[in-house]
């Protein structure tokens, strides 16, 4: 989901990526708005509760904004799935989608922001997202950046989790592994270990040409290896997760595919049909989920 924008001045830092070639930002999660049949089938799926650390959760963010998502949570990465109408306005229409890329070390979002002008983003939009755990008191959740707040159906943002969120026990986060640890593995629980799904290894989305143009500078500034494909699409890789964005008309936009690494190898191939989608698990230590869409 996209966020209410609260401008902040908290992001400031150095101007270079890591000297050893590591990205400043990594794939955190992707979301997609699916047809109602598929979204309801996902929510009711007994198989997904075995396959992944699966949750259906309502979250309250900035300015009281709420959303109910279906989550498949891995060790470091996750996916968030909605049905048509689950989000307000255009964000809740069929084919809307988003991508979050995040810092592993404190200050790396600032470094990525400082690199954005060199990739054509003169005025990045900074904001801070909060989370309300139910007591009406917003807790700083993460600092973030958009390259532009205007979008057709897809938006990407860079993010860095806040120390206040890690300090709140209601977040169920893990202790820091070392100084400056604001990473994805710390943010997510170890509940994935009781299921097959370990992490997201690939996502593929159809996006408009304008949304693609707004996204590529963020990926480049974050240190992703970005390759342009014949036809104008791009593949961006952070070393663990590959993101493919294909330019399409708005009516064809949306989440198309998710690839997973499994926590263990499975001997036989299993196909689970969930609404207008098919999750293929195994053989081996991988799974592939394809979404074919559906009329509303």
Residue 135: C-alpha distances to residues 83, 169, 188, 290 (Å): 27, 14, 22, 39
Percent of the chain at pLDDT > 90 equals 83
Sketch the domain layout of the chain as residue ranges: 25-291
Which band of pLDDT confidence, cut at 50, 70 and 90, is reported for residue 9? very low
- Per the model's pLDDT, the better-predicted residue between 198 and 2 turns out to be 198
Region 50-67 average pLDDT: 81
Predicted local confidence at residue 293, as pLDDT: 67
Query: What is the DSSP code string of 231-246?
Result: TS-EEEE-SS-EEEEE
Question: Would the pLDDT of 281 be above 70?
Answer: yes
The first and second tokens of residue 261, run together, are 């690494």
If 0-12 CB within 10 Å is exposed, 13-18 middle and 19+ buried, where does residue 162 land?
buried
For the chain, percent helix, then strand, then coil, each to nearest 5?
Answer: 25, 40, 35
Which band of pLDDT confidence, cut at 50, 70 and 90, is reported for residue 21? confident
Question: Would the pLDDT of 12 be above 50?
Answer: no
Which band of pLDDT confidence, cut at 50, 70 and 90, is reported for residue 84? very high
pLDDT one-digit tens code per residue, 247-256 = 999 999 999 9
The first and second tokens of residue 86, run together, are 């689950």
Query: What is the DSSP code string of 42-98?
Result: HHH-HHHHHHSEEEEEEEE-GGG-EEEEEEEE-SS-EEEEEETTSSSGGGGSTT-EE
pLDDT one-digit tens code per residue, 202-249 = 999 999 999 999 999 999 999 999 999 999 999 999 999 999 999 999
Query: What's the mean per-residue pLDDT of the chain?
Result: 92
Question: Would the pLDDT of 192 be above 70?
Answer: yes
> Strand 97-103 and strand 25-34: pairing?
antiparallel
Question: Would the pLDDT of 154 be above 90?
Answer: yes
pLDDT one-digit tens code per residue, 93-146 = 999 999 999 999 999 999 999 999 999 999 999 999 999 888 889 999 999 999
The predicted model scores a pTM of 0.93
In the DSSP assignment, the letter for residue 179 is T
Residue whose structure tokens are 């990926």:
219
Region 7-28 average pLDDT: 68
pLDDT one-digit tens code per residue, 155-173 = 999 999 999 999 999 999 9
User: What does the alpha-carbon distance between residue 100 and residue 224 come to, in Å, rounded to a whole number?
Assistant: 13
CB 149 within 8 A of CB 115: no
If 0-12 CB within 10 Å is exposed, 13-18 middle and 19+ buried, where does residue 169 land?
exposed
């Amino acid at each position: 989901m996209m966020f209410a924008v609260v401008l902040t001045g908290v992001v400031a830092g150095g101007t270079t990526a890591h000297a050893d070639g590591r990205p400043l930002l990594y794939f955190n999660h992707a979301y997609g708005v699916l047809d109602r049949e598929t979204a309801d089938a996902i929510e009711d799926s007994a198989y997904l509760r075995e396959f992944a650390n699966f949750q259906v959760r309502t979250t309250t963010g900035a300015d009281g904004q709420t959303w109910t998502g279906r989550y498949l949570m891995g060790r470091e990465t996750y996916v968030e799935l909605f049905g048509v109408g689950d989000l307000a306005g255009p964000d809740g229409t069929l084919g809307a989608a988003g991508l979050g890329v995040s810092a592993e070390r404190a200050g790396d979002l600032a470094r990525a922001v400082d690199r954005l002008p060199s990739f054509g983003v003169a005025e990045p939009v900074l904001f801070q997202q909060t989370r309300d755990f139910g007591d009406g008191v917003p807790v700083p959740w993460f600092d973030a950046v958009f390259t532009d707040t205007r979008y057709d159906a897809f938006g990407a943002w860079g993010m860095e989790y806040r120390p206040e969120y890690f300090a709140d026990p209601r977040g169920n986060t893990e202790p820091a592994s070392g100084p400056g640890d604001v990473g994805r593995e710390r943010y997510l629980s170890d509940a994935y270990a009781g299921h097959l799904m370990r992490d997201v290894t690939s996502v593929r989305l159809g996006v408009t040409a304008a949304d693609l143009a707004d996204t590529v500078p963020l990926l480049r500034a974050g240190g992703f290896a970005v390759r342009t494909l014949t036809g104008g699409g791009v593949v961006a890789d952070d070393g663990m997760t590959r993101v493919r964005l294909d330019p399409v008309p708005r009516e064809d936009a949306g989440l198309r595919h998710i690839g997973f690494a499994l926590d263990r190898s499975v001997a036989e191939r299993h196909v689970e049909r969930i609404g207008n989608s098919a999750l293929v698990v195994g053989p081996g230590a991988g799974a592939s989920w394809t979404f074919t869409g559906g009329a509303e």
